[in-house]
A and B are shown apart, each in its own frame.
Chain A
């Protein structure tokens, strides 16, 4: 079955979903002030600048258009249907995006593959800058939401929530974390006072999360003094990061970050003392480690404690965001919210499954092992399989499989 038919098949499944589940799809708050955008299956075109007067109109649109992706503006506008310049910006929710694409994950992303569009050579992991074979620069890449990637992004999300509640004083009720349906999490903050913050102010929030521009002298560093583990905010985080780093870093790692041999030896040989020192005033006065070395160590501590958010999403006050409970066109999974108190136990690959009935026969070209719900599938290579609808759609959406036989379209 060719690509177009596969696409029509996926669209038909999405259509079923929107017909049966549209009641579960809540439009965002201040519906009439939001811009909506829909990515279409056929033209791969974005239908933008849509506005809705009420929930019914919006749900009907989903049922008739059957988009592959559904977005709404984090911004509130006077006239959401006008062109950008004429919309009349009123404010925007604060949004954070944590995506496996942008962060280091222990899996090394070996499940991802790339194909050079020029010479056709394939490789694993993130695509290289230049093709090792022909030096080309353009690749088709297939990224997979693996469990390790999702675990890593969840960890960052929990860190983010921690900073938002403790440092920024936001209540858990104001935060809506959600699995995006693909490779990461969003955290949506709806708070009236924050809404009118401009880009510059949001940039400061981004810098706060990422540890950009942090100067140790403002955080209790002064001639052999430093922050302690009990302190709040970045002070405590620097202490915690330093604690973890000095306790676990190997000699090799310490050298790699530019510390001199004698300094490395001092650290390695005094580990017990360092551990003990945290009960008092910290290791900051330690023999054999000078201010330059501390600078490097503290920098590592900041990197370790920073929250790896996407810088563009948060500073963009006109951003389009995927709507909760709508399907992600790259996976067939739905964007799924989770409360702050439940996020630790949250299993995205279970909760985000939208299709729970039936099976589909497929021809899978190539797919790594993956899990959906409680089942594991794959790895597959050029095989025919019959899979539950969710797993099959996942592979079809990923472009890793085709339908086995002609199915009459309803």
Chain B
């Protein structure tokens, strides 16, 4: 039980579960208990963090395994994988299994187009295979965390869970990102949004995904539906009823009530909306993240000009 609590605590504090292996039995049994503990918190942020931490632990262990063992583990997840007989390559993995487990990765070496692929199989090193397996482990744990247990837990466990929740809340405060300003700051727009915005202002046509990116961006950075509708007014095919409906839908006021956010940079690049990156773009992956960062930079710049007093 203590080990279970420790696992979660480590996840919260260091985003990594240690490889303590003094007693194998404890190590094995503590895992389902830890999963149960995290599961009962119903905190999706904590669940993600815990799954990630366990996956890192898994990666560190998997790295040390030999090819046969890795193949065996991969097979339990229904991967189609086989050892390779080529130099510097250890495995051949079916591209579908590769794609499924790399969608969360951002390094360019994980993009399918940057891999050697032949006949539907992606070439991998042993370390890379371990990394992808760890990702599979993460997804697996997340799924388990999301299954409702419906169990009434004994007092000694709930106390531990409550303590962990408190610990997590105190950490989460530090991780929280900055709030959006109330006014829209055009100067802080990323290049893609600025281009779309200018295109709309001049009344020129933009693609469907371009419109979606612009509208979601503006709504999420605090623009009212009325102002968004006005912006589209200059378009020749402007239809007030339709535009308002779509803007309200995006703002979460209609239908499924989901509030939409703009597509990621990666997606905008695929659909030809990205006009090319600037310095800030290189450090972010999402237009809204650009906006926040640029606001931050602008703030520091406007604050510094004050001459230091003696």
Query: CB within 8 Å of B: which residues of A?
Result: 85, 117-118, 129-130, 136-138, 166-170, 193-194, 197-198, 200-201, 203-208, 210-215, 218-219, 232-235, 311-312, 315
Contact = CB atoms under 8 A, between A and B. Distances in A.
A311 B271 contact: yes
A284 B250 CA distance: 50
B108 A213 contact: yes
Interface stretch (B18-26, B63-71, B204-212): B204-212
Nearest to A198: B103
A212 B114 contact: no
B40 to A, nearest CB: 28
A208 B100 CA distance: 15
Contact of A170 (B100, B117, B120, B235): B120
B205 A137 contact: yes
A214 B100 contact: no
B119 A169 contact: yes
B114 A215 contact: yes
Contacts of B209: 312
A203 B95 contact: no
Nearest to A171: B120
A234 to B, nearest CB: 6
Given A213-B269, A311-B271, 18 more contacts: A85-B255, A117-B236, A167-B120, A168-B117, A170-B120, A193-B96, A201-B103, A203-B266, A203-B267, A204-B99, A204-B112, A206-B270, A208-B113, A212-B269, A213-B111, A214-B114, A215-B114, A232-B118
A312 B266 CA distance: 14
Interface string B186-219: 0000000000000000011100110000000000
B109 interface: yes
27 contacts: A85-B256, A129-B204, A130-B204, A137-B204, A137-B205, A167-B117, A169-B121, A170-B120, A193-B94, A201-B99, A203-B267, A204-B102, A204-B111, A206-B270, A207-B113, A213-B108, A213-B113, A213-B266, A214-B114, A215-B114, A219-B114, A233-B118, A234-B113, A311-B271, A311-B272, A312-B271, A315-B270
B259 interface: no
Contacts of B108: 213, 215, 218
Given A198-B103, A203-B266, A211 B203 contact: no
B266 to A, nearest CB: 7
A219 B116 CA distance: 8
Contacts of A130: 204
B115 interface: yes
Given A213-B114, A215-B114, A219-B114, A194 B96 contact: yes
B183 interface: no
Contacts of A210: 270
A235 B112 CA distance: 13
Nearest to A210: B270
Interface residues of B, number: 36
Contacts of A233: 116-118
A206 to B, nearest CB: 6
3 A-B pairs closest in CB distance: A169-B120, A138-B236, A218-B114
A211 B113 contact: yes
A300 to B, nearest CB: 17
B256 to A, nearest CB: 5
Contact of B119 (A166, A205, A207): A166
Contacts of B118: 166-167, 169, 232-233
A299 B25 CA distance: 56
A85 B254 CA distance: 13
Contacts of B269: 212-213
Contacts of B235: 137
Contacts of B272: 311
Q: Chain B CB within 10 Å — which of A129, A194, A203, A215 has the most?
A: A203
Given A137-B205, A169-B120, A213-B108, A203 B270 contact: yes
A100 B236 CA distance: 25
Interface in B88-102: 94-96, 99-100, 102
A166 B119 CA distance: 5
B114 A137 contact: no
A232 B109 CA distance: 18
A197 B256 contact: no
Contacts of B203: 137
A193 B113 CA distance: 20
Contacts of B256: 85
B152 interface: no
Contacts of B279: none
Which of A138, A167, A215, A218 has the most B CB atoms < 10 Å from its CB?
A: A167
B237 interface: yes
Given A201-B103, A213-B269, A169 B95 contact: yes
A311 B267 CA distance: 10
A315 to B, nearest CB: 7
Contacts of A138: 236-237
Given A203-B266, A205-B112, A234-B113, A197 B100 contact: yes
A234 B271 CA distance: 21
A92 to B, nearest CB: 14
Contact of A312 (B100, B119, B120, B208): B208
A82 to B, nearest CB: 13
Name, among B99, B205, B267, the residue most crowded by chain A CB atoms within 10 Å (CB to CB): B99
